[in-house]
Structure 1
C-alpha cells in the first residue's frame, strides 16, 4: 500500500504483493522532490534490477539471484551526505541532524530489537519529545515483522541515498530514499520455489524535519517525521492488512496483470518512481 502523510500523521505500514495500494483518501500529498538547487546529497545511485532465473537458494546467502545481492549490508548502506552550512545551521549542526535522521531510519527499518522484537522505545527516543509519544503509541512508524516469522541471521540489504535541504526558519528537511531487502527464515528450505519466496523488499521515501531555535518550544525541538511514501514487494498480503511484514511463501498468490519485470525493476530501484496500484 502506498500512503502519504501530513505533519504529525501516523506512517501506516504500507504494502503490496508487487504493487502498492494508493491511499489518497487520507487527504495528504507526498513530499515534493527536493530541488537540485537547494539539495546537498550524494550522487544518484544506480542498481541492477535483473533477476537470475533458476538460482538455488542458499540460506547463508539468501539474496543471491536478486538485484539486492550487490547492495550494501545493513546500516553500511545508509550513508549521509557531506555536511555543509544550510539555512542558518552550521555544518556541524547539519551533520548532527543528518546523524539523527540516519539513526531513526536505521532503527525503524533495520534494528531487529525494533522491527522484530517490538522495542519501540529505541526508536521513539530519537525524536523530539512532542513527536516521541506518537511514535510510541502508533505501530506505523517502523517495519514490523509478523508474529511467527523471523528474519535470517544475515544483514539486510540496503540501497539508496539521503539528502538535506532548507526548510522553514529553524528547520532542515532531510530525505531518506531507500530500498531495503529482508530475507526470512523458513523451516523447510525444500519448500522454496523461487528466491522471492523468502525475500521481501520495502521501498521508503521519508521526509524528516529537524527543528531548532527560539521559534519552537523546547519540547518541539529535534527530529520529526513529516511525510513519507512506502511500498512493499513480494510478501504475504493478509498480514499487510495489519501493517505486518511476512514472507511470500506463507501465502502464495498467482501473479496479477502488471506484475512483470517493470514492476520488479521499480521496486528494486530507489531512483525509479514509486509504483501505484493494488494487487493485494
Structure 2
C-alpha cells in the first residue's frame, strides 16, 4: 500500500466514509418501532388535536325514565297510589280482569276491615270488581242454531240487558215493578207469566213464588243503597239448545252495599248483601216456538244469597241490621259468598233455590 492510500485509510477511519451505513442508536430504534406499530399518519409534535366532547349518556337515560314514569302516572293513577300508599281497603288496587272462564278456586283473603259509607266495599273481593253492567262478560258471537252471528250478538246483548234490568235498575232496587225486564220475557210462556203475576202481587210469597228469584229488591223504608254503585262479576255463555234455539246461560254475582233507611249519620251501619244468580235463557226459533220478536223463554233460574234474610220470604232482601235475624243462620253450614268456582246448589229438584241461611265466612 502506498503512503497516499494509507493516509486515506486513516482519515476515513476517523471521520467515516461517505455513504457508509450508520448503526442507529437504541433510542432511535425504539422510536422507529413505536411509529411502525401505530396506524395512520403520525402526528407532528406541534400538531393540535381538540379534545373529544364527552357523551352525557347518563342524562339521556334519566330523562327517558322520567318521561316513562310520567306516562305511567297519567295512565294508571289508581295503581300508582296503591304502590306507595297504605291501601287498607283495597279500593286502590288494580281491578280484576274480566271473567272469561269459570274460576277454579275462591278469591284470596282480604284484610279484615269493615265497610264504611265512604268505602262500602273495602275488606272484600268486590273492591276489585267492576261496576254494574261492566262486570258481566259477553263472549264473541258466532253463528249458532237458527241465528247468524249478528243475531247471536243481539241475543247476547239483550240477555245482559235482562240481567241489568232485573238486578241493577235503581227503580227495581227500590221495590218498583221490573217493567223493562218483563218486556224481554216471552209473553206466551205460561208458567213464567203465572209466576210473575203471583210473585209481584202477593204479600206472602213462597219459596217458589218469591220475586227475588229473578229480581233484586229492597224495602225503601228499611234499607237504601250506599251510593249508586253495585259491584258485579260474572259472564254469559251460549250454545245451541232445543229445536235449534240459542241457549244463553248467565252466572253473575251482585254485591249490594246498603245502610238503614233512616240512619243518615256518618257512622251508619253498612251491610253487604251478596246475591248470585244463574239464569238460562232460550232465544227460540219463531218458526218452531210461539214467541214474540226480541223476547226469550226462561229455561231455569237459581239464586244464592248472603245477608238477605233468613226468615220467611217477603219479596224483598232483608239485611240483618243491628240485631240477629228472626231465624238464625245454620252455624254448622258455612259458605263463602265470593266463591264462584262451585255451582249453585239446586239439589231440591226445583228451578230455584230458597233463601240461603248458612253462615257466611265473609261478606
TM-score relative to the length of structure 2: 0.57
Alignment of 1:128 onto 2:189: no
Aligned to 1:270: 340
Q: 1:189 offset after TM fit, Å?
A: 5.5
Q: Which runs of 5+ in 2 are unaligned?
A: 1-98, 201-210, 347-354, 359-363
Aligned to 1:168: 242
Q: Is the 8 A contact 1:128 1:223 kept in 2?
A: yes
Q: 1:52 offset after TM fit, Å?
A: 2.6
Match of 1:50 among 109, 118, 127: 109
Q: 1:127 offset after TM fit, Å?
A: 1.9
Distance 1:81 1:134 in 2: 32
Alignment of 1:244 onto 2:316: yes
Q: Looking at both structures, which has the greater relative contact order when contacts are Cα pairs under 8 Å and sequence separation is at least 6?
A: 1
Aligned to 2:23: none
Q: 1:185 offset after TM fit, Å?
A: 2.3
TM-score relative to the length of structure 1: 0.72
3-state SS in 2 of match to 1:104: helix
Q: 1:49 offset after TM fit, Å?
A: 4.6
Distance 1:164 1:97 in 2: 10
Q: Which runs of 5+ in 1 are unaligned?
A: 1-40
Matched residue count: 230
What are the Cα deviations for residues 130-181 of structure 1, in whole angstroms up to 9, with x where unaligned?
Answer: 2485575233231221342211223111111110011012411111011110
Distance 1:241 1:49 in 2: 32
**Which structure's CA Rg is the greater one?**
2
Match of 1:225 among 273, 298, 302: 298
What are the Cα deviations for residues 218-257 of structure 1, in whole angstroms up to 9, with x where unaligned?
Answer: 448731221021111123323x522311222154256642
- Deviating beyond 6 angstroms after TM superposition, the runs of 4 or more aligned structure 1 residues are none
Alignment of 1:216 onto 2:280: no
Aligned to 1:82: 140
C-alpha spacing 1:135/1:223, structure 2 compared with 1 (3 Å): farther
Alignment of 1:105 onto 2:178: no
Aligned to 2:357: 279
